[in-house]
Structures are given as C-alpha cells and as structure tokens.
Structure 1
C-alpha cells in the first residue's frame, strides 16, 4: 500500500512538473510535438545528467549536485541535476510532449519514452586515454561515452531485437552530448596548457563521432550532436584566469583565448559531422550550436529578465568578482544562494540556472527544428 502511494505521488509530481515546464516555456503548441518523437535518448555529462552520477558510489559521493541547494526549485528535491531545477534535455522532452527522461541507473524507472545515459563529471575519452593525457578525472567516474554506449546496448538487448530495433528507432531522437568539455575543464584546472589541450581535440572529436556511428548502428535516424559553450564566459575560468590585461577580454567580458579554444573544438566537431553526413545521407545529423545559443542569451540577457550586474556571477557561490571560490563551491557549508536564481545565468560557476537553460533550449529548438524531419 505504501509503495503504491509513493508511486502515485511520484507520478503526480512528474505530471505537475511537466505542466510547470510548459507554463515556464509558455507553450501554446509545443513545436517538437510535430516531430512525433516517442522516445528520446541522451548521452553526455553534467549538462544533461538527471540522476546517474548520484547512483554511482564514487561519483555520487564526490558530487554536490546530489544535495540541496541543487534542485532547490525542483520541489525541494535534489535529483542529481546540476542546476537549481530543469536542464536543456528536460525542456526538449516537454517540447516533444514526453515525460522527463529517467536516468539509466534508476533500476525502477519507466523507460518507455527513452533513457538518459548522461553522467555528471564524465568525459568523452576513456579512463585509459585520460591517464595517457595526464588528466585526473576529479569526479571519480569511469562512465565515459563508451561506457554509456555499452549501457545503451544492454538496454536495447532487453527492449528490442537486432531485427526490429531499427524500426523502433524511427521515431526516436538521440542527443550525443554535450560531451568532451570536461577533458578541458580538468586539464586546464590541472595546469595543462592551451596548446596541449588543442592537441587533444582531434582524439575527442573522433571519439564522439565513433559514438554517433554506434548509435546509428542501433537504428538511430535523427541525431543531434551538441558542441561546447563559450567557456571563457564561465565564472570558474574567469576566476582561475583572471588578469589585469584588458585586451584578454571581449566585449562581454569573456576570456578571448578560452572562447577561441571552444570555437576551435566546435569547428572540428562540425567538420567531422559534415564528413559523417556523406557516409550516411539518409540519416538526419544536426550540430547543436550551444556556443551561439549561449552568446545570444548573453547579448539579450537584460531583455530576457536577467540582472545585467550579475551575468557572470554564480548564483550559488561565495567570494571574488564572480562569486566563485574553488575551495568553497556551491553546496559547501555556509555558501549562500542568491535571492532569485532566475536573474542569473550561472548557477554554481560551472553550470547554468534553469532560466538560462530554458532560453537556450528555446534558441536551440528554433535552430534545429527546420533541420529535423518534422511536419511543421
């Protein structure tokens, strides 16, 4: 009886949550519903994780996203999302008329409408490749992209056969990423030079492309491969690489070198996607332009309800010009949260607030919808 009541309460909360998301987006007619997706599959890191990392022993123990104030606006429930509330994938699911994606590691979850394989702190490269590049994964998770793809393989073995999997995937949307950004966050934070980080880009991009090929092998026909945000605008890097040299910053007070690095990575990824399209002309492969979505948000922040004086300050944080201290991060004792997270772009110095993800999701959907095989 108690289990039944708990299940009913969980379903009620989910229904209310989806309704809230639709209200937040002011959806009259959710645009992605025209695509008639029946399932969504997500691979990636903390930008997309809805609860996998907190279910891994080492990763969860080292992840602050599993406790308040993370999820503080998600019915005071820390689900493992590295934000105060919903992520881009949540808004994409709502716009598709589907429930929020459950994490693969939740053994009791309903996966009829897709699975979220993303793990906070993960990398595109394997643990072995990270070690060869002298990078330590401080999140203590080995659930790299290849591991997530193995999870997908195991999941499909229980839900469809090799003969009918491709047909069942016809109406599914796959998001392979964002992933690959943590290699640079870890590397740069551990003293790796920009030049050495650039040398890693081809290997990371090819790892992502290999992952896309595996997804196609299972029957995926509609795939989005997101790039990276302009990392030079994030409080974590603005704090670490702070300088008095004014020419180091652009007109938005973002660090030029770091943003140029993100552009370099994204261009390599875009080129690889374009090459892959030649081999799979019948597959819809779309580059998810996170970089320009973020820049659009930054350029229009004031008119979208954000506080122009806090655009590069973490909402949950303490100290310094950007309200970020690597030794006293969000979730640590006596680290405060801003009064209104919706007025901030950055949630904790690394991840964004729900309101930022909401607007970025809207920009992305506007950008990708004409490229999808949908009746609009």
Structure 2
C-alpha cells in the first residue's frame, strides 16, 4: 500500500514539475523584440522609401511563399525574427527607418549589407568600393537610441529589461568585403579580433541601456554556400571537407565563432544579471548540410532560386530576382534560397533550435 502511495506521489510530482515547466515557458513574455543585423534578418529597412528596383531582392520571386510579394526580406518568406515575434505573441518587427510605425512592441535595426565595422575601417584596407550600404553596428545603435526615447521615455531600463534583443549576425559582410576584395581567408581572419571586439562593445552598450536578455548569433558556415562554392570552387579535392564544403572559408567562420564565444563568456561573468545567449548558426546550418533529409530538404547545396547555372544553381550575372532566374517549385525542400540566404523553411528550423536548444546556449526559452 505504501509503495502505491509513493508511486502516486511520484506521479503527482512529475505532473506538477512538467506543468510548472510548461507554465514557465508560457509565462516567458517580452514587452518587445529589438533586432540588429544584416540581410539575414532585415525586414525592410532598405525599402522604407520605396523599393529600389536595381536591388534584386525587391523583385519577385522574393517573398512568394508567405507574403505573396517582395517585402525587402532576402528570403522566399519569413526570417528568424518573424518566427521569434510569433512565438512570443508580438507583431512582425517594423523596420526602424519607418516614419509611421509604432515601435512599442519592437523594432528591427537590421539592414542589408550591414557590417560590424565602420566605413573608416574598410577605407583603411582599400575596400571602400566593397561597402555599398552604410549601416554598421554604431549606426544601428544610434537608430535604436532614437527609437527608445519615443517608446519608453524615462522608464527605459525596466522596459528594456523585459524585452528580447537579437544582436547580429554581424561579421559576415565584413568578411565578404575582404574576400570579394582579393583578401584570402587567412588574411581576413587577422581582423577577427577587431570585429569580435566591436560586437562585444555593442553588447555592452545595450546592457548599459538596460538590456538583459540578449541573443548573439555567430556567423554561418559560408564554405557550404552556393555563392562561395561557385566563385571559389577548385579542382583540388583537398580544399573540400567530407560534405563538399570549402574548408578555408568554414575555418574563417569557426575562428570568428570561437573568439565570439570567449567574449560572450567574459561578458556573462562581468554582467551577472544579464542573460547573454550564444546562438550557434554554424552548427545548426552545418547539420542541415550534413543531414538534409532530417529537415525535409532534398538539396543542401543547390540554390532554389537561380538561373540553372552550374552545379549549385548560382550565377552572379543571373541571380534570383534578375531576368532569367526563377524559383524551384518547392522552396521548403531547399536549404539555400538564393545562394547567399536561406529559405523560410531553414529559418524556421534555426529558430526552433534557438528557442529550445541545442543551437543556443542557453536556449532562449527558460527551462
């Protein structure tokens, strides 16, 4: 009889614990989400004054899967911050450059082409012509500060303490500028400490303003992306890993991510009341390349939208959104949307990996 009581008590305890965990997850609410970054999460900052026709992602078939029209997202549909907003019952984030939006529930500072470093840095490297859009971290922080005065006035600390921040990905375009400007991957990696320091300083500025929950994504395994595989493909099998990704570019990403994680660990030790989460873009996407079928993908290396060019369906002269390019019939079966950015289906999987783990440490959802 006693063992029955013990068993009943154990079952009750299990039920109570599991319901407490569910309640904790349900209770995790945010006032708002504030996002910073580049084309991976831009939701329209480049199009607030109309859609510049010379930019490919303002043209169909961008946006076809979810919105039915181009929205200035570099995707066939929603991006990570859209899925995060939905998860926490918030509206899609308006671009911070909008003059009519209400930013009370969040804003998106991300802008396509954004870098971590300021223009002076690239000028000093002789790469000014590779930076076509000026929206570095320093500018995005200024845009954010302009918004907060109207959102929370004098009570910003408490408001921002109950908001979720996503800071990045930053670094990808800094490396692109170098790699497409005739720097090799080893030369580019010598600037990684400077880039990571700039990201870290940005995080500290947010914490000083009152942010406590901050997701900091690393960079992606660019050596697995159609654009790099097409432009830098070689006949030397030793340049590729076992999956078919270019090793030297993935080494650049890994080095950046390792240094970033060290910085995050230092910041977490310094700011005990903050919750700084490292979002592991690299491992999540690399697993999709390794096991595409686990995610419903039939192809990991071929861009869905392109002009049928070569092994990876990527041609610089006929990119997605240009004449001659078209989208595949089922974008959800592809990891890569346009050879540079991922599909909505991939971003959904990534978001799940950040919310629940294993690709965010700690996971966004409290356990």
TM-score when normalising by structure 1: 0.86
2:357 is aligned with 1:360: no
Q: For residues 271 and 95 of structure 2, what CA distance do their matches in structure 1 show?
A: 29
- In the alignment, which of 321, 340, 365 is matched to residue 330 of structure 2? 340
Bigger radius of gyration: 2
- In the alignment, which of 87, 94, 98 is matched to residue 95 of structure 1? 87
Q: Is the 8 A contact 2:104 2:151 kept in 1?
A: no
Q: CA offsets per residue over residues 193-232 of structure 1, 9 Å max, x none?
A: 2222011111111111111111111100110110011110
Shift of 1:170: 2.0
**2:214 match: secondary structure:** strand
2:40 is aligned with 1:50: no
Shift of 1:153: 0.8
Q: For residues 340 and 63 of structure 1, what CA distance do their matches in structure 2 show?
A: 24
Q: CA offsets per residue over residues 267-286 of structure 1, 9 Å max, x none?
A: 11111111112221111111
Q: For residues 326 and 349 of structure 1, what CA distance do their matches in structure 2 show?
A: 10
Alignment gaps of 5+ in structure 1: 1-28
Task: Show the counterpart of 1:75.
Answer: 67
TM-score when normalising by structure 2: 0.88
Q: RMSD over aligned Cα, in angstroms?
A: 2.1
Q: Is the 8 A contact 2:356 2:365 kept in 1?
A: no
Q: Is the 8 A contact 1:317 1:336 kept in 2?
A: yes
Q: For residues 23 and 71 of structure 2, what CA distance do their matches in structure 1 show?
A: 25
2:85 is aligned with 1:127: no
Give matches, 1:110-189, under 5 Å.
110-136=102-128, 138=130, 140-162=132-154, 164-189=155-180
Q: CA offsets per residue over residues 135-187 of structure 1, 9 Å max, x none?
A: 2464621111110100011111222234x211111210001101110111221
Q: Is the 8 A contact 1:314 1:324 kept in 2?
A: yes
Task: Show the counterpart of 1:331.
Answer: 321
Of residues 71-80 and 146-155 in structure 1, the stretch that sits farther from structure 2 once superposed is: 71-80
- In the alignment, which of 299, 311, 315 is matched to residue 300 of structure 2? 311
Shift of 1:40: 0.4
**2:191 match: secondary structure:** helix
Q: How many correspondences in the alignment?
A: 344
- In the alignment, which of 244, 263, 270 is matched to residue 253 of structure 1? 244
Q: For residues 365 and 350 of structure 2, what CA distance do their matches in structure 1 show?
A: 21
2:211 is aligned with 1:220: yes
Alignment gaps of 5+ in structure 2: 1-21
Task: Show the counterpart of 1:63.
Answer: 55
Q: For residues 50 and 354 of structure 1, what CA distance do their matches in structure 2 show?
A: 13
